[in-house]
Amino acid sequence: MKLAGKVALVTGAQQGIGAAIAVALAEAGADVAVNWLDDEKAATAVVAKVEAAGRRALAVRADVAKLPDIERMVADTVRDLGAPDILVNNAGVYPRVPLLEMRESDWDIVLDVNLKAGCFATIAMAKALLAGGKKSGAVINLSSAAIRGAVRGVHYSASKGGVVSMTRALALELAPHNIRVNAIAPSLTDTAQPRYGNSDAELIEMARATIPLGGRMLTPEQIAGSAVFLASDDADAITGQVLHVNGGAYMP
């Protein structure tokens, strides 16, 4: 198993892409801490799937927009599972807001969850990993095809563009510690997130119009497979990169 003996922490793992990544990491051999915020039942279901894969699991509630919660989340993971070798900064929000109606609070919550949280979770994870005497680690950030710009999403696009630049800078800072940092940029994916403000019919039409490969939305499991690769030794020479998993919707 590619990740046997590893400990992973996945933020925003109660549903969607985060849940799929948590399960995929477990199926590859990792023990997994499942971060959740507001749906304990869903998080418990993800924990059950991790355990069904024969791995240890922990559900840890934390609001990743708050630094004390981030530090406690990592500390709880260390206490129950061990220092995390793998961190997936998946938690994200996308409250769609027309530009001329945007408030400061709209901007702040998106940047706090989508960008700030990933930075400070990485800091906490790296400190725990080094204190635990581990020799290597992997951080995977979730960016988005929205880095090219999105209507009703200036704050979201700014946050995800920031994730790309942050990924590169973190990769340089942490390379001396043999901690790799990469990002995955998914396109339209079949989760609850794109349904906020869009009908299913609109989503299907968007997929047909923008995703050349298959003309359909991606599945969370397709994103999860890429995360397993980046977390594994198969990617041990890859850092500071953005892997676009989008069916050809965006070709940088």
pLDDT digits (tens, 9 = 90+) for 81-130: 999 999 999 999 989 899 999 999 999 999 999 999 999 999 999 999 99
CATH of the domain at 44: 3.40.50.720
Q: For residue 195, is pLDDT > 60? A: no
Average pLDDT over residues 238-251: 89
pLDDT digits (tens, 9 = 90+) for 152-180: 889 999 999 999 999 999 999 999 999 99
Catalytic residue among 94, 156, 196, 250: 156
Q: For residue 3, is pLDDT > 90? A: yes
- Which pTM does this prediction carry? 0.94
How far is 91 from 36, CA to CA, in rounded Å? 9
Q: Indicate the pLDDT class of residue 232, thresholds 50, 70 and 90.
A: very high
H or E element, residue 17: helix 16-27
The domain containing residue 169 runs over which residues? Answer: 7-190+221-239
Contact 135, 183 (CB under 8 A): no
Q: For residue 191, is pLDDT > 90? A: no
Average pLDDT over residues 1-9: 96
Q: Is residue 135 part of a domain?
A: yes
Helices 16-27, 40-52: axis angle to 10 degrees equals: 20
pLDDT cut 70: percent of the chain above it = 92
Total domains present in the chain:
1
For the ranges 27-36, 63-72, 136-145, 192-201, the lowest mean pLDDT is seen at: 192-201
Q: Is residue 120 part of a domain?
A: yes
Per-residue tokens: 37:
């915020």
Contact 174, 87 (CB under 8 A): no
Q: Which among 191, 175, 169 has a CA at the least distance from the CA of 90? A: 191
| Catalytic residue list contains 156 | yes
In DSSP terms, 60 is beta-bridged to: 35
Q: Which among 68, 65, 66, 48 has a CA at the least distance from the CA of 57? A: 48
Contact 191, 15 (CB under 8 A): yes
Q: Is residue 14 part of a domain?
A: yes
Q: For residue 49, is pLDDT > 70? A: yes
pLDDT of residue 252: 73
Q: Is residue 83 part of a domain?
A: yes
First to last CA, the chain: 33
Q: Is residue 33 part of a domain?
A: yes
Per-residue tokens: 247:
């069916």
- Outline where DSSP puts E strands in the chain: 7-10, 31-36, 57-61, 86-89, 137-142, 179-186, 242-245
Three-state DSSP at 241 gives: coil
